[in-house]
Amino acid sequence: MLILFCVLGFTHLHANGYDSTRVKNYQKKMVEFRYTRYLDSVLHYFSMAKPLAQNAHDSVALFWIHKNMGDAYEHHQHLDSTLHYYEICGSLIPKGNHTLTSFLLGDKAYTYQLLYDYEKSTELSLQALDAAYLAGDSTMVASNMLSVAGDYSFLKMLPQASRYYQKSIQTSVRSGNPIMVEY
């Protein structure tokens, strides 16, 4: 009787429980296909992963599922769709998660660069930098400073661009991260 109870309990848990392994596998497939010509494959894995993560109320998994979908649309130059998915991502970030906030704002800034809206890109890059400071991640701070410098250079604001390039280098050197220094 105990064995039957355990088997039925496991079956019920598996049928009604959250299978994070399946979600992670679908996410891996989305990552694998997002920068290829196979947008339909990304859409397929998105449609498989999203309901599982939604039913489990896993906002971080939903964030990455939507982020990967936005990246795939960006690769195919469907930038309105990219921004749509990135907006959804913004609503899924857990309160106080400055790392994900900075990461998303940086990606949105890049999308606006692709749209030649350098003012909006600069605004978002500066917000990403603020979030990176709040996250306390010196590598992310240096990377975002580099993005701000690039945005200012697109706007032909060369003194500001130079200042942020220098700050990025200084932050990279202080962090001791040789990859960022070379970057």
- In terms of Cα–Cα distance, which of 79, 119, 81, 87 is closest to 105? 87
pLDDT in tens, 68-107: 999 999 999 999 999 999 999 999 999 999 999 999 999 9
Q: What are the angstrom distances between the C-alpha of 101 and each of 5, 38, 56, 107?
A: 45, 28, 22, 10
What's at 92, amino acid-wise? L
pLDDT in tens, 102-137: 999 999 999 999 999 999 999 999 999 999 999 999
- What's the DSSP call for residue 77? T
Task: Round the average pLDDT of the chain to a whole number and report it.
Answer: 88
- In terms of Cα–Cα distance, which of 139, 101, 105, 133 is closest to 121? 105
- What's the DSSP call for residue 137? -
Instruction: Report d(CA 75, CA 35) in Å as an integer.
Output: 6
pTM greater than 0.85: no
Q: Is the pLDDT of residue 178 over 70?
A: no
How do the domains of the chain map onto residue ranges?
23-92, 101-183
CB 176 within 8 A of CB 153: no
Q: What is the pLDDT of residue 54?
A: 94
**What is the percent of the chain where pLDDT is above 70?**
86
In the CATH hierarchy, which fold is given to the domain comprising 101-183?
1.25.40
How confident is residue 6, by pLDDT bands cut at 50, 70 and 90?
very low
Q: What is the pLDDT of residue 3?
A: 43
Helix (H, G, I), strand (E, B) or coil at 150: helix
